[in-house]
Structure formats: C-alpha cells, structure tokens
C-alpha cells in the first residue's frame, strides 16, 4: 500500500491545495506541520531546503505544483482529456499568481 506524508508549516500556504486534493480523494496521509521555530532543524531534510514536500513511499518530492499535479494524476482527478487538464492547470496557475502577490 502506498504511503503519503505531506510536510509544511502550520499555515495553509502552498500546501493547502494538496491537502484539499487528499480530502477530495478520501486518501489518508500524514499531515506533518512544523512551527516556524522547528523549521531550522528540518530544513536540511528537504530536497530544496523548502516546503511543501511530499514523501511518497519513502521518497521526497519538492515543489507544490509538482506535488499537486502528481496527486491529481494519482487519484484520477484530472487528465480526462487535454482541455480538462488545461482547466486544472489554469486553476493552479491562478493560485500561484495569488500566492506570488
């Protein structure tokens, strides 16, 4: 059975989309949330020294959008056709615009 651990801060930020995907799919996962003062001692454990990070079957994957795209494919929530995928990408890119601002 596959195991999923999602590492992020206690805020919603760049992890919330993946948390929502897990909820929508009804998939159990470990939602690991670090307080700001805990972060320095975990930074070196992350592939790019940042979060969110998804640990899938023991391997860590960085980058929030890569994680979200992987999860939607994993749980068959996207990819029904190319236009459906483009609509999903548009939502992701819009969220990125908001986060950047």
Ligand X SMILES: N[C@@H](CCC(=O)N[C@@H](CS)C(=O)NCC(=O)O)C(=O)O
Binding positions for ligand X, rule: CB under 6 A: 13-14, 43, 49-52, 63-65
Nearer to ligand X, 63 or 74 (CB): 63
- Residue partners of 29: CB distance under 8 A and separation at least 6: 4, 5, 6, 22
- Residue partners of 31: CB distance under 8 A and separation at least 6: 6, 19
Output the residue with the shortest Cβ distance to ligand X: 50
Nearer to ligand X, 59 or 82 (CB): 59
Residues belonging to the chain: 101
Peptide bond into 92 cis (omega under 30): no
Nearer to ligand X, 1 or 98 (CB): 98
Nearer to ligand X, 14 or 78 (CB): 14
What is the smallest separation between the CB atom of 13 and ligand X, expressed in angstroms? 5
What is the smallest separation between the CB atom of 82 and ligand X, expressed in angstroms? 24
Closest CA to 39 of 67, 10, 16, 19: 10
What is the smallest separation between the CB atom of 11 and ligand X, expressed in angstroms? 8
């Amino acid at each position: 059975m596959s195991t999923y651990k999602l590492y992020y801060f206690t805020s919603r930020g760049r992890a919330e989309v993946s948390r929502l995907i897990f909820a929508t799919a009804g998939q159990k996962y470990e939602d690991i949330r670090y307080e700001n003062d805990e972060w320095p001692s975990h930074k070196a454990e992350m592939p790019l020294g940042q979060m969110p990070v998804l640990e899938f079957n023991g391997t860590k994957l960085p980058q929030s959008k890569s994680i979200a795209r992987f999860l939607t494919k994993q749980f068959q929530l996207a990819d029904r056709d190319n236009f459906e995928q483009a609509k999903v990408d548009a939502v992701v890119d819009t969220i990125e615009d908001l986060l950047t601002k």
